[in-house]
């Protein structure tokens, strides 16, 4: 196991030379991570990571899912069960199971990031296997106990300039505040407002969340106006704590125009538990439009992540909860779905709407053409299953000819795997260099322009799209 | 700014050598342009082009949309407003705004064509910028005033053999007739029958158009039979003026079998303004089938361009009208939609139906399999957003393995940007050479066969598909 | 006409070297063909093939469709008409027509296989043409009359280890039994249970087939329980005759949960011919779920081939029957459609479900994510229109980053063209070598891992997925 210094660059020697030159310009630039799922407490408390299973395996559903697919039950991978709240398998066992299945990750994005992390951070030089599992476990555990591997030390070593977390609208953001107030920490760690469960009446616990909003806002639970005001208020609270964006997930990114009277009526019906599935969709489509209206008002960037069938296996969900590898992409559309929103706010350049997708057919057909006209629309980086080498090159080829390079929002790592952050950003930089080098080689771009674009992709673009 | 003589050819040296050899066979062949949007008056009156903004920017919504997306209002780009009928910004200002945004076009198809035109036609050797905008404006304006840059001189210099325009069915085609009668012009410029607004009762002004047809035909406006006969008559009028094809756009390419009685009843209802949206779709689907019936009778080739949500931004449409950059592709299907039409006429080799798409998923899934069975079905070139280097190579890879090379209809430029015509056809020839060269390099095609195919793609194929 | 020894390998010299090394490891491995349409009688009776038209043209709808698309009626290609049961054109004429249209196959998968077969098996060294058609016909006919070209001799020469046929559930499998009992034949030829026409009440002749099942089972035709038991019984009969899988085709792979009472009621209604189209779909979706239940019980692997509009041209179907080149792919979905099935059996590692598609958008979006979680789900090889060089490379790129290499089911040739079997498997091995070599060249895979994977793809994977 080793890392080729030219990995992910084109195999054609001349093009590789150009790509290497472009990559060298961006390899060491600071990391801007405007969307992800790292726990802010990690950096606040700065406790050492435990062992490699805890760090790399049991919380990373990209990894557990593939071993599960090979027939290994999730409990053997240390995935926490809902009932008892803890994974039954000890770290050493989990790690060994992982090592035994290392071959499954060949060619995958996860395999690429794991390899990068194991080699670069821990100096591993052999493929993980049943034979060396214990030895690797002990070595990595010992390394993690050193001060150099505490979260803050890694944060600095990774050169992270901005790191956004993802947070519940009622989170008091105390950890963010404490981190911000801590004179010994200089990183910029910012929250993100993620209100899905407050906007969709079909989401379990919605009524309780509405009640919490009302309590915070000091209004009647039954007041639709109070509910909307509370959401606006919580957005401001987030903004005051450094947030620059709100994030929204939904199956279909439908937006719906609804008068206040109709919205209030549906809201009342929802509180009584009398909303049909279609009505719930109408209401949450309306609330998505409300979120856009508030974005225009408070300046928070709106990002949407649609098109995923969450918790496809209800048995797995029942036992292990969400984020356990059985979220599956669906065919997605944006053009008709987002039209009410774009009709209202699409031409406002101060409104920023970043569109993500897991249906790559939409890149050339819908997202690039939308972003190629509406000043508010930014193209989100390939996300989740598409955040991988060939997928990223397909993405670039799909959007660039229509929208150029300057309608993108930069790379996001979207990860809860803290250690994989540098490998992910590095992967993206290598692939953008590879793509640009091909255009140079094909006479479609001057080298000087490619050099400027390579830097803008990791610097100017995310700063602009996310108002950083 | 310069043009690499090997641009768009593969970077691998051996494959590039083969591609260059193929390209040399076709580089100088005459241009056959069987579908586009050039104004015939341009060639009839042969007036000099005004300035570079007029020529290259304000009428080209491929370009204005991308600058609009960067936050520049369309009026600053000289896009004519409906109310006052003219762009408020003077050409020099528009041109400067364009030059300031030149970097947006890196990697886009428009950027490629613009570069080709600026370098090859005007000898520009630096990237447009705020600094050189005025100088370029003056230089190009002066060049355009010379006789060598009059439309007819360029028509000859571009070696255009056939140029099809797109025309309203009630157009008297006087400009075409005058051009044809002009002994000093030897080019073949032919009209195309584009009846969408006459077939779809939901189209604004439909009733007035029906009335115009009735008047021309000397029948009662209320006569469905008269309406159908008038359309058939106008098609013949077009054919007598050189037309070889009819062109049809619609959101969904649905065709509907309707008896004459049912059709006449919907027609009457439509004239009374009492048609529902669903009924309008049924009627226009029926009329599409009627168009196919007439094609079988009069021999005009039928081309369809479906799957675009036109005028997505109603504010933009209201102020600036159609073709202002906010037409966005939609998911499209052909297999079930076109079945009634193919059931009737699909196996008739004298009927020619050219299918275009902006949903590239349909290339391998639907269009190539349909064209690989039905002798009437021809594969249209990648169109609009897909008329770009990587998209064209994806297209070739998607259709060739199923349908071979000989079910294609050749390249179309589909442009109103007269100056971009040679760059567009040249781009297509380079990419076909690149694709063929790869197949040769991979041992999938003999060089001699590739040489024959390269020529057929620009010569025999469009002649056959468009009956030229 | 010649075969490049490096055909289908990457053109970049260094990558080609790696690919060649990988290919050498697998080139001579035995062929495992777990899904196809070869007639078992071919091997039982071991009669010589007739002439090249019979062997290569008139039964291969991949080929006849493309000549039909060029305007040649199917009867001139020897496609048997339903009324008289035989193709009207003699073999020599059919062959000549094919040779005249040889250029149509350039760049197609069929062209690739035909070239391989003609060169490797018959030593042809010139492109087929009108001029050499008779000479080739005579040469190939003479060759086919030799003992070396009898089916069994070719079976051995092709190194086929397992060959699965596709069979009607009521087939007595006598030919399979006889072949198995024949001491002079050592190959493994196994049947496959293909029950579509017994499960879908909308299928013509369904009631007669239900009656045949009832008769075999000795129960009343009207007994739903008897119908289900008979299907289970026939599956066991197939298993006893060596079957390892059942195969299912449908337009939409919808599965439906239905109580026995509801199912029995729909069954009774269907027998009375009173089922609506929607009800028929519900019933067949229920029966697909029943098939999965039986697979869990009897261990037969379940393969599904959805998303094809069969017999799109009803005139062609009426005159020439099914499998005449007018089956056209449709947009397909799996995630919501298969959920009821996966809810019940998806997490059972002993249940094997192989998903095929002709809608390549589903590879990255649905199939790879499903197979990357559910231990029961295996990724089927690119099939039919997608079983071609560029399509296969797109497939690998689309699924590998999400699901790795080990969720695949290996290659299937799916062919009734016996002579094309080695060329098809060889094509797949070359392309997998090309894909792996690229990953090695891009530093994403160690050479040793690539060598192991290359072998597993043709050996361990199909054995595991198909329980061979």
> Given an 8 Å threshold on Cβ–Cβ distance, is A375 in contact with B330?
no
Residue C360 with chain A: CB contacts under 8 Å: none
pLDDT, tens only, C396-441: 999 999 999 999 999 999 998 999 999 999 999 999 999 999 999 9
- Half-sphere exposure (Cβ direction) of C112: Cα atoms closer than 13 Å: 28
> Given an 8 Å threshold on Cβ–Cβ distance, is B9 in contact with A441?
no
Is C358 a domain residue?
yes
> Given an 8 Å threshold on Cβ–Cβ distance, is C335 in contact with A386?
no
Say if strands C160-164 and A245-250 run parallel, antiparallel, or are unpaired. Answer: unpaired
Is C264 a domain residue?
yes
ipTM metric: 0.97
> Given an 8 Å threshold on Cβ–Cβ distance, is A108 in contact with C400?
yes
* C427 in the same domain as C447: yes
Is B42 a domain residue?
no
pLDDT value for C80: 85
> Given an 8 Å threshold on Cβ–Cβ distance, is C104 in contact with B453?
no
Q: Residue B367 pLDDT more than 90?
A: yes
| Distance from the A6 Cα atom to the nearest Cα atom in chain C, whole angstroms | 7
Its pTM stands at 0.97
| Distance from the A330 Cα atom to the nearest Cα atom in chain C, whole angstroms | 7
Q: Which of C121, C146, C171 is the last residue of a domain?
A: C146
- What pLDDT band is residue B116 in, cutting at 50, 70 and 90? very high
Distance from C-alpha of A336 to C-alpha of A350, rounded to nearest angstrom: 22
Residue B313 with chain A: CB contacts under 8 Å: 342-343, 346-347, 373-374
pLDDT, tens only, A395-418: 999 999 999 999 999 999 999 899
pLDDT value for C220: 94
Is A3 a domain residue?
no
* B453 in the same domain as B372: yes
* CA nearest to A231, candidates A212, A250, A253: A212
Count up the domains in chain A and report the number. 2
* B183 in the same domain as B109: no
Portion 55-74 of A in contact with C at CB < 8 A: 65-66, 68-71
CA-nearest residue of chain A to C12? A12
* CA nearest to B415, candidates B397, B430, B432, B427: B427
Residue A107 with chain C: CB contacts under 8 Å: 400-401, 404-405, 439, 444-445, 453
Q: Are C414 and C303 in contact (CB under 8 A)?
A: no
Strand, helix or coil for residue B167: strand
Q: Is C405 touching A (CB cutoff 8 A)?
A: yes
Q: Is B360 touching A (CB cutoff 8 A)?
A: yes
Distance from C-alpha of C253 to C-alpha of C249, rounded to nearest angstrom: 8
pLDDT, tens only, B427-439: 999 999 999 999 9
Query: How many angstroms separate the Cα of C195 from the Cα of each of B56, C294, C379?
Result: 62, 13, 21
pLDDT value for B88: 65
User: Under 8 Å CB-to-CB from A246, ≥6 apart: which residues?
Assistant: A192, A193, A194, A195, A235, A238, A291, A295, A300, A301, A302, A303
Residue C104 with chain B: CB contacts under 8 Å: 404, 406
* B442 in the same domain as B346: yes
| Distance from the A386 Cα atom to the nearest Cα atom in chain C, whole angstroms | 8
Q: Is A18 touching C (CB cutoff 8 A)?
A: no
User: Under 8 Å CB-to-CB from B142, ≥6 apart: which residues?
Assistant: none
pLDDT, tens only, B407-428: 999 999 999 899 999 999 999 9
Residue B366 with chain C: CB contacts under 8 Å: 328-330
Is A273 a domain residue?
yes
Portion 275-334 of B in contact with C at CB < 8 A: 331, 333
- What pLDDT band is residue A59 in, cutting at 50, 70 and 90? confident
Is C331 a domain residue?
yes
Q: Which of B125, B149, B173 is the last residue of a domain?
A: B149
* Cβ neighbourhood burial of B204 (10 Å; 0-12, 13-18, 19+): exposed
Q: Residue A286 pLDDT more than 90?
A: yes
* B336 in the same domain as B248: yes
Distance from C-alpha of A210 to C-alpha of A198, rounded to nearest angstrom: 7
| Distance from the B379 Cα atom to the nearest Cα atom in chain A, whole angstroms | 19
pLDDT value for B85: 63
Query: How many angstroms separate the Cα of C185 from the Cα of each of B109, C155, C176?
Result: 61, 10, 12
Q: Is B407 touching C (CB cutoff 8 A)?
A: yes
Rounded to 5 degrees, φ, ψ at C245 are: -150, 160
Residue C92: which CATH number?
Answer: 1.10.2020.10
Is A27 a domain residue?
no
Chains near C (3 or more Cβ pairs under 8 Å): A, B
> Given an 8 Å threshold on Cβ–Cβ distance, is C316 in contact with B368?
no
| Distance from the C301 Cα atom to the nearest Cα atom in chain B, whole angstroms | 27
pLDDT, tens only, B34-83: 999 999 999 999 999 999 999 999 989 999 999 999 999 999 999 988 87
Strand, helix or coil for residue A375: coil
| Distance from the A434 Cα atom to the nearest Cα atom in chain C, whole angstroms | 11
* C157 in the same domain as C141: no
Mutation site, C9, C65, C107, interface B, largest B CB count within 10 A = C107
Mutation site, B345, B370, B373, B395, interface C, largest C CB count within 10 A = B373
Residue C7 with chain B: CB contacts under 8 Å: 442-444
Q: Is A101 touching B (CB cutoff 8 A)?
A: no
* A180 in the same domain as A105: no
Q: Are A78 and A57 in contact (CB under 8 A)?
A: yes
Q: Residue A88 pLDDT more than 80?
A: no
* Nearest beta carbon to residue B444 from set C112, C329, C394: C112
pLDDT, tens only, B304-352: 999 999 999 999 999 999 999 999 999 999 999 999 999 999 999 999 9
| Distance from the B255 Cα atom to the nearest Cα atom in chain C, whole angstroms | 15
Q: Residue A86 pLDDT more than 90?
A: no
* A179 in the same domain as A71: no
pLDDT, tens only, B132-172: 999 999 999 999 999 999 999 999 999 999 999 999 999 99
Query: Per residue of chain C (468 residues), what is the pLDDT tens digit?
Result: 899 999 999 999 999 999 999 999 999 999 999 999 999 999 999 999 999 999 999 989 999 999 999 999 999 999 988 876 666 688 999 999 999 999 999 999 999 999 999 999 999 999 999 999 999 999 999 999 999 999 999 999 999 999 999 999 999 999 999 999 999 999 999 999 999 999 999 999 999 999 999 999 999 999 999 999 999 999 999 999 999 999 999 999 999 999 999 999 999 999 999 999 999 999 999 999 999 999 999 999 999 999 999 999 999 999 999 999 999 999 999 999 999 999 999 999 999 999 999 999 999 999 999 999 999 999 999 999 999 999 999 999 999 999 999 999 999 999 989 999 999 999 999 999 999 999 999 999 999 999 999 999 999 999 999 999
pLDDT value for C211: 97
Distance from C-alpha of C419 to C-alpha of C51, rounded to nearest angstrom: 13
Q: Is B104 touching A (CB cutoff 8 A)?
A: yes
Dig out the tokens for B419 from the structure: 């100056």
Q: Is B449 touching C (CB cutoff 8 A)?
A: yes
| Distance from the A215 Cα atom to the nearest Cα atom in chain C, whole angstroms | 38
| Distance from the B401 Cα atom to the nearest Cα atom in chain A, whole angstroms | 20
* Nearest beta carbon to residue C407 from set A69, A127, A361: A69
Is C458 a domain residue?
yes
Dig out the tokens for B456 from the structure: 């057929």
Q: Which of B132, B149, B166 is the last residue of a domain?
A: B149
* C52 in the same domain as C185: no
Query: How many angstroms separate the Cα of C139 from the Cα of each of B79, C57, C134, C211, C243?
Result: 69, 16, 9, 49, 38
pLDDT, tens only, A106-128: 999 999 999 999 999 999 999 99
User: Under 8 Å CB-to-CB from C91, ≥6 apart: which residues?
Assistant: C50, C51, C52, C53, C54, C58, C78, C137
* C244 in the same domain as C157: yes
* A239 in the same domain as A125: no
> Given an 8 Å threshold on Cβ–Cβ distance, is B69 in contact with A371?
yes
> Given an 8 Å threshold on Cβ–Cβ distance, is C404 in contact with A112?
no
Residue A192: which CATH number?
Answer: 3.20.20.140
Residue B3 with chain A: CB contacts under 8 Å: 443
- What pLDDT band is residue A87 in, cutting at 50, 70 and 90? low
Distance from C-alpha of B324 to C-alpha of B61, rounded to nearest angstrom: 5
Percent of chain B scoring above 90 in pLDDT? 96
Q: How many residues does chain B have?
A: 468
- What pLDDT band is residue A279 in, cutting at 50, 70 and 90? very high
**Composition of chain B by helix, strand, coil, percent to 5:** 55, 10, 40
* A460 in the same domain as A342: yes
CA-nearest residue of chain B to A437? B11
Q: Are C398 and C368 in contact (CB under 8 A)?
A: yes
Residue-range definition of the domain harbouring residue C239 = 152-465
> Given an 8 Å threshold on Cβ–Cβ distance, is A12 in contact with B7?
no
Chains near A (3 or more Cβ pairs under 8 Å): B, C
pLDDT value for B80: 85
């Amino acid at each position: 196991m080793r890392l080729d210094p030219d990995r992910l660059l084109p195999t054609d020697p001349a093009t590789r030379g150009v790509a290497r030159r472009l990559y060298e310009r961006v390899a060491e630039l600071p990391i801007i991570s405007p969307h992800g799922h790292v726990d802010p407490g990690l950096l606040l408390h700065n406790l050492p990571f435990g062992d490699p299973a805890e760090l790399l395996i049991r919380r990373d559903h990209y990894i557990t899912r593939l071993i599960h697919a090979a027939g290994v039950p999730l409990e053997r991978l240390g995935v926490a069960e809902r009932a008892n709240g803890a994974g039954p398998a000890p770290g050493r066992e989990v790690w060994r199971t992982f090592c035994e299945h290392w071959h499954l990750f060949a060619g995958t994005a996860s395999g690429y990031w794991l390899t990068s992390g194991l080699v670069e951070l821990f100096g591993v030089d052999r493929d993980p296997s049943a034979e060396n599992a214990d030895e690797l476990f002990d070595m990595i555990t010992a390394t993690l106990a050193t001060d150099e591997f505490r979260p803050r030390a890694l944060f600095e070593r990774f050169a992270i300039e901005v790191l956004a977390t993802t947070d519940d609208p009622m989170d008091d953001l105390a950890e963010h505040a404490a981190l911000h107030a801590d004179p010994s920490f200089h990183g910029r760690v910012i929250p993100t407002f993620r209100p899905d469960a407050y906007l969709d009446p079909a989401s379990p616990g919605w009524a309780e969340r509405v009640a919490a909003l009302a309590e915070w806002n000091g209004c009647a639970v039954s007041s639709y106006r109070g509910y909307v005001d509370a959401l606006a208020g919580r957005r401001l609270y987030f903004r005051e704590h450094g947030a620059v964006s709100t994030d929204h997930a939904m199956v279909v990114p439908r937006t719906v125009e609804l008068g206040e009277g109709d919205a209030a009526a549906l809201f009342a019906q929802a509180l009584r538990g009398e909303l049909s599935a279609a009505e719930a969709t109408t209401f949450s489509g309306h609330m998505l439009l409300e979120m856009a209206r508030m974005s225009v008002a408070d300046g928070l960037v709106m990002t949407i992540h649609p098109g995923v069938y969450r918790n496809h296996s209800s048995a797995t969900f029942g036992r292990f909860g969400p984020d356990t590898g059985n979220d599956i992409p669906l065919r997605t559309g944006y053009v008709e779905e987002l039209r009410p929103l774009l009709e209202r706010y699409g031409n406002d350049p101060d409104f920023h709407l970043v569109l993500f997708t897991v249906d790559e057919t939409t890149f050339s057909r819908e997202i690039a053409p939308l972003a190629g006209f509406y000043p508010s629309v930014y193209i989100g980086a390939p996300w989740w299953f598409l955040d991988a080498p060939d997928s990223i090159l397909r993405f670039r080829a799909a959007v660039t000819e229509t929208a150029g390079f300057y309608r993108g929002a930069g790379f996001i790592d979207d990860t809860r795997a803290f250690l994989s952050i540098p490998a992910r950003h590095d992967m993206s930089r290598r692939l953008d260099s590879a793509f640009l080098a091909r255009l140079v080689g094909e006479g479609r771009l001057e080298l000087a322009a490619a050099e400027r674009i390579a830097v803008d992709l990791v610097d100017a673009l995310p700063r602009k799209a996310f108002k950083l």
